[in-house]
Amino acid sequence: MENVKLPATEEGYTLIIEGAMPYNTTDGTITLDMMSNQEGFEFTEIIGCEPIEYTDSYVPSKYGIIFKEKIFTSLTEQTLASINVRLMQNNVPMSTTGLLKYFRLQILDNNKIVFDKKGWNQINVSNFNFRMNQGLTDVPAEEGGEVKHNYVIQAIFDLNMWPEAKTVND
């Protein structure tokens, strides 16, 4: 990135710099040179964690749902997450077998879509911020106020593009 100019806001901005290194990369050093006209400019390192892999079998339903799962996050802290959904057949990624399946990944909060992305065989969300529930109630204190978050992640597809899913499942 060069010469990025962002309009001033009271909230500020979050700049996320991420990279995907091969697993066999040795330890090293990374240097970021940042210039700012603000004296209070500082970095906050976000420590990554080991990935959690969830694998499950699915049968595409006649309702266009591949999977739908509730997400449990910290009550007291915001949770940053990277999500990668990859469709596989017989434990082989569909992209390597030549099959192309179009689907979309959605994150819902209290049954409202807050994130929606489409892709073929695989969808990667590099960063999503799940908000915390601490101090929030089930009903808004004021009109348009924030309420407790109930996150659900789902993958859905268009029945016209998956003709094998148009019949009733066993």
Positions in the chain whose pLDDT score sits under 70? 1-2, 14-25, 30, 32, 44-51, 165-170
Report the C-alpha dihedral over residues 11, 5, 46, 150, rounded to 10 degrees: 50
What pLDDT score does 49 carry?
65
Q: For residue 85, how many other CB atoms are within 10 A of its CB?
A: 19
- The Cα 101–Cα 53 span in angstroms is 21
What pLDDT score does 54 carry?
72
Domain residue ranges of the chain, discontinuous segments joined by +: 65-165
What pLDDT score does 16 carry?
64
**Cα angle, residue 161 at apex, residues 155 and 167 outer, rounded to 5°:** 85
Site of tokens 């004021």: 142
Percent of the chain with pLDDT over 90: 17
The burial class, CB within 10 Å (0-12 / 13-18 / 19+), for 134 is exposed
